[in-house]
C-alpha cells in the first residue's frame, strides 16, 4: 500500500507508507508470566458481550515453554519457531451495526520442534474457548500470544489441529497514525494487515515465513457482500444473512489477507493469454469507473510476465473500495485500491498504483520477506517495476529516473537491509535505485534472468537479502560482495551509479 509522490523527472514514484506505517519494534518476551482466563485486557467492557460459546479453560500443568517468535529482529514477537501452519479455516459473522466479528479459526499444521504447547499471535480479539484435536484445550493469553496446551509433548513432524473461538470489535482507526487491521465503514469494512494487522482481529501465526492455504466463510447481512482472497466458492443465503465462502489454494502470508464487506459488484474479465483468471471487485456505486483499468491490467500483466516470468498465481484482480485516499495494498491475487485514486481516469497516478501493486504479486506475495528488515525486497522491487512500466509507456527513461532519484535520496535512514523506516524513501527509492545499479553492474540478461530465478527458487516461500545475493551471483557469475556492501549494507550509498560492465 502506497502514497504517490512526483519525482523531479516527472515520473510518478510510490514512496509513502508501504503497507502500514511502521511502529517501534517490540521487545522479545523471554520469560512470560501467564495470565489465565479469556483474553485479559482485550475487550471494552462497555461493548456487548460476544456470542462465543464456552468459558475459558485454565492451564492444567507447567508445560514446556513455547516459542513466541519466528526470529524476526524487527518484530520479534510475531510468529513462532515451533510450528508450520498448513491451512486456516476461518469462519465468522460480521454485524456492521455493532461492528462485531465473531466466529472460529481452525489452524492445522505440523510441529517443527518438540512441543507440548504452541503459540499464536493475538493482539485484540477476545478468545472464548479452544479445542485441540476436537477436545477442549487449556490455554492462556500472555501479552500478544495465545498459548494452547496440546496435552502432551509432541515430536517434530507431528501434526496439530487447534480451533479457537474468537470475537473482535472493529473500532475506528487511523491508518496514517500506524493503525492496521480492520477499518469499519458505515455499512461494512475494509482491512489492511501489513505488517501485523491480521492478529488484531483473529488468532494467527502472523509472520510471512509461515505461509498457509486458506478458506474463509464470512456471513454478513443480506444485501452485503464479503470479499476475501482466492476463488469465490459459494454464496449461501441463511437466516443469519449470506455466507460468502472463498478458497485460497496457493500459500499466502497472513499480512496479504484481503477482507472487504460492503455493497460490491463482481466484474469478470477475460482470461489472460497466459491463462491467468482476471476477476475484479468494485463498489456498486463506483461500477462505472472500472473499465479503464481492465485493459491496463492486462497490458501490465503481459509486460511483467515478459520480464519476471509467468504470473505466480492462478488469478488476479483489482478491488476498488471506499478506503482512505492514497492507499493501495498488494493483497494476494486481488489488490486493494481506493476509489479516490481509481476514479475512472487513467493517468500517471493510476498507472503507478496499478503497476506497483501488480508487480508485488511476484515480489512480496510469491516471494515474501523472511524478515521485515528485508522489506526492500518487496517495495524496492515493485518501485523498480513501476519505473520499467513508465519507460514502456514512454513516460520516463529508467536510467534517467534512477540517476535523478539517486541525487534525492536521504542521507540518513540506511542501510537498505535494515532501514530506520520500513515504508519510506530509503526502502522504495533506495531499493529501486540499488536494483538499477545492480542491473548496470551485471548486465540486462543476467539481471532479468536473476529476477526470474529469484521467483522460481523461492515461490510460495520467504527469503532474505542474503538469498537474493546468492541467486544473483549464481545467475550472473559475478562475486557481488562488494556491490552488496556498498549499496545494501552500507549506512550511506554511493554518490553515482556504477559504470556498465564490459
Query: Is residue 41 over pLDDT 90?
Result: no
pLDDT of residue 293: 98
pLDDT for 86: 98
Contacts by residues 389-393 (CB-CB < 8 Å, ≥ 24 positions apart): 389/300, 389/303, 389/304, 389/351, 389/355, 389/359, 390/11, 390/12, 390/348, 390/351, 390/352, 390/355, 392/303, 393/351
Q: Residue 466 — φ and ψ, nearest 5°? A: -65, -35
Peptide bond into 415 cis (omega under 30): yes
Model confidence pLDDT, tens digit, residues 178-188: 999 999 999 99
> 446 is written with which cell numbers?
543476467
pLDDT by residue (tens digit) across 50-101?
333 343 444 445 556 999 999 999 999 999 999 999 999 999 999 999 999 9
Q: What are the φ/ψ torsions at residue 34 (nearest 5 degrees)?
A: -65, 145
Enter the pTM of the model: 0.89
- Express the helix, strand and coil content of the chain in percent, nearest 5 each: 25, 30, 45
Q: How far apart (Å, rounded) are the C-alpha atoms in residues 368 and 376?
A: 11
Q: Is the pLDDT assigned to residue 19 strictly greater than 60? A: no
Cα 491 from Cα 284, distance rounded (Å): 49
DSSP string, 61-113: S-PPPPP-----SSSTTSS-SSEEEEEEEEEEEEETTTTEEEEEEEEEEEESS
> Residue 308: its pLDDT value, please?
98
Buried b (16+ CB within 10 A) or exposed e, 325-352: ebbbbbbbbbbbbbbebbeeeeebbbbb
Q: How many helices, marked H, and strands, marked E, lie in the chain?
A: 9, 25
The tens digit of pLDDT for each residue in 97-152 reads 999 999 999 999 999 999 999 999 999 999 999 999 999 999 999 999 999 999 99
pLDDT at 378 over 60: yes
Span(s) in the chain for CATH 2.60.40.1730: 37-177+188-256
pLDDT, one tens digit per residue, over 222-262 is 999 999 999 999 999 999 999 999 999 999 999 999 999 99
pLDDT (tens digit per residue) in 395-406? 999 999 999 999
CA–CA dist 428, 229 (Å, integer): 26
Cβ 328 vs Cβ 339: under 8 Å: no
Q: Which whole number is the average pLDDT over 436-444?
A: 98
The kind and range of the H/E element at 220 are strand 212-220
Q: How much is the pLDDT for 52?
A: 37
Cell numbers found for residue 99: 461492528
Residue 176 CA to residue 137 CA, distance in Å, equals 39
- pLDDT > 70: what percent of the chain? 87
pLDDT of residue 62: 55
Task: Cite the residue boundaries of each domain of the chain with CATH code 1.10.390.10.
Answer: 4-17+363-487
The stretch 318-322 carries a mean pLDDT of 97
Structure confidence by residue, pLDDT tens digits, 198-218: 999 999 999 999 999 999 999
pLDDT 10s digits, 459-483? 999 999 999 999 999 999 999 999 9
State the pLDDT at residue 500.
84
Alpha-carbon distance of 361 to 359, in angstroms, equals: 5
What does the pLDDT read at residue 176? Answer: 87
Three-class secondary structure of residue 232 per DSSP: strand
Residue 352's pLDDT band (boundaries 50, 70, 90)?
very high
Mapping DSSP onto H, E and C, the string for 303-359 reads: HHHHHHCCCCCCEECEEEECCCCCCEECCCCCEEEECCCCCCCCCHHHHHHHHHHHH
Q: 421 in the Ramachandran plot: left (φ > 0), alpha (ψ -120 to 50) or beta?
A: beta
The mean predicted confidence, pLDDT, of the chain is 90
Query: Cell 455466507 sits at which residue?
Result: 243
Q: Residue 324: pLDDT above 70?
A: yes
Quick one: average pLDDT of 337-363? 98
The answer to whether the CB of 250 falls within 8 A of the CB of 213 is yes
pLDDT at residue 349 tops 60: yes
Query: What superfamily in CATH does domain 4-17+363-487 come from?
Result: Neutral Protease Domain 2 (1.10.390.10)
Instruction: Please state whether beta strands 83-95 and 212-220 pair in parallel, antiparallel, or not at all (unpaired).
Output: parallel
Give, in order, the Cα–Cα distances in Å from 421 to each of 108, 177, 192, 218. 34, 14, 19, 35
Q: Which fold has domain 37-177+188-256?
A: Immunoglobulin-like (2.60.40)
Count CB neighbours of 262 within 10 A.
Answer: 22
Amino acid at each position: 500500500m502506497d502514497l504517490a509522490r512526483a519525482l523531479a523527472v516527472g515520473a510518478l514514484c510510490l514512496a509513502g507508507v508501504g503497507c502500514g506505517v511502521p511502529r517501534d519494534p517490540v521487545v522479545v518476551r523471554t520469560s512470560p508470566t501467564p495470565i489465565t482466563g479469556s483474553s485479559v485486557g482485550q475487550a471494552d467492557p462497555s461493548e456487548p458481550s460476544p456470542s462465543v460459546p464456552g468459558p475459558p479453560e485454565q492451564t492444567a500443568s507447567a508445560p514446556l515453554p513455547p516459542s513466541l517468535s519466528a526470529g524476526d529482529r524487527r518484530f520479534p514477537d510475531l510468529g513462532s519457531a515451533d510450528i508450520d501452519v498448513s491451512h486456516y479455516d476461518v469462519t465468522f459473522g460480521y454485524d456492521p451495526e455493532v461492528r462485531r466479528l465473531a466466529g472460529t479459526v481452525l489452524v492445522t499444521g505440523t510441529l517443527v520442534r518438540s512441543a507440548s504447547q504452541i503459540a499464536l499471535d493475538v493482539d485484540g480479539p477476545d478468545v472464548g474457548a479452544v479445542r485441540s484435536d476436537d477436545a477442549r484445550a487449556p490455554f492462556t493469553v500472555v501479552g500478544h500470544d495465545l498459548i494452547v496446551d496440546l496435552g502432551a509433548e509432541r515430536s517434530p513432524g507431528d501434526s496439530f489441529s487447534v480451533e479457537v473461538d474468537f470475537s473482535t470489535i472493529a473500532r475506528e482507526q487511523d491508518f496514517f497514525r500506524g493503525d492496521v487491521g480492520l477499518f469499519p465503514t458505515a455499512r461494512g469494512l475494509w482491512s489492511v494487515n501489513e505488517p501485523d494487522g491480521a492478529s488484531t482481529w483473529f488468532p494467527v501465526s502472523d509472520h510471512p515465513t509461515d505461509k498457509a492455504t486458506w478458506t474463509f466463510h464470512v456471513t454478513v447481512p443480506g444485501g452485503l457482500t464479503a470479499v476475501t482472497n482466492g476463488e469465490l466458492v459459494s454464496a449461501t443465503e441463511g437466516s443469519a444473512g449470506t455466507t460468502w465462502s472463498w478458497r485460497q489454494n496457493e500459500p499466502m502470508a497472513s499480512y496479504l489477507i484481503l477482507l472487504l464487506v460492503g455493497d460490491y459488484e463482481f466484474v469478470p474479465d477475460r482470461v489472460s493469454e497466459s491463462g491467468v483468471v482476471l476477476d475484479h471487485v468494485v463498489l456498486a456505486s463506483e461500477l462505472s469507473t472500472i473499465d479503464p483499468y481492465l485493459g491496463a491490467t492486462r497490458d501490465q500483466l503481459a509486460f511483467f510476465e515478459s520480464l519476471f516470468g509467468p504470473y505466480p498465481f492462478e488469478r488476479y484482480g483489482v478491488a476498488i473500495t471506499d478506503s482512505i485516499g492514497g492507499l493501495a495494498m498488494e493483497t494476494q491475487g486481488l489488490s486493494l485500491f481506493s476509489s479516490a485514486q481509481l476514479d475512472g481516469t487513467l493517468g500517471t497516478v493510476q498507472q503507478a498504483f496499478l503497476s506497483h501493486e501488480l508487480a508485488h504479486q511476484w515480489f512480496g506475495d510469491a516471494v515474501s520477506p523472511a524478515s521485515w528488515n528485508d522489506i526492500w525486497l518487496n517495495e524496492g522491487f515493485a518501485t523498480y517495476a513501476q519505473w520499467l512500466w513508465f519507460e514502456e509507456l514512454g513516460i520516463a527513461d529508467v536510467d534517467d529516473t534512477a540517476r535523478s532519484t539517486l541525487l534525492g535520496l536521504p542521507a540518513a535512514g540506511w542501510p537498505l537491509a535494515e532501514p530506520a523506516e520500513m515504508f519510506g524513501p530509503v526502502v522504495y527509492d533506495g531499493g529501486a535505485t540499488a536494483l538499477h545499479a545492480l542491473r548496470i553492474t551485471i548486465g540486462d540478461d543476467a539481471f532479468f534472468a536473476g529476477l526470474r530465478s529469484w521467483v522460481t527458487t523461492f515461490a510460495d516461500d520467504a527469503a532474505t537479502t542474503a538469498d537474493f545475493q546468492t541467486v544473483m551471483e549464481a545467475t550472473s557469475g559475478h562475486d557481488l560482495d562488494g556491490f552488496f556492501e556498498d549499496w545494501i549494507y552500507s549506512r550511506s550509498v554511493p554518490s553515482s551509479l556504477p559504470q556498465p560492465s564490459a
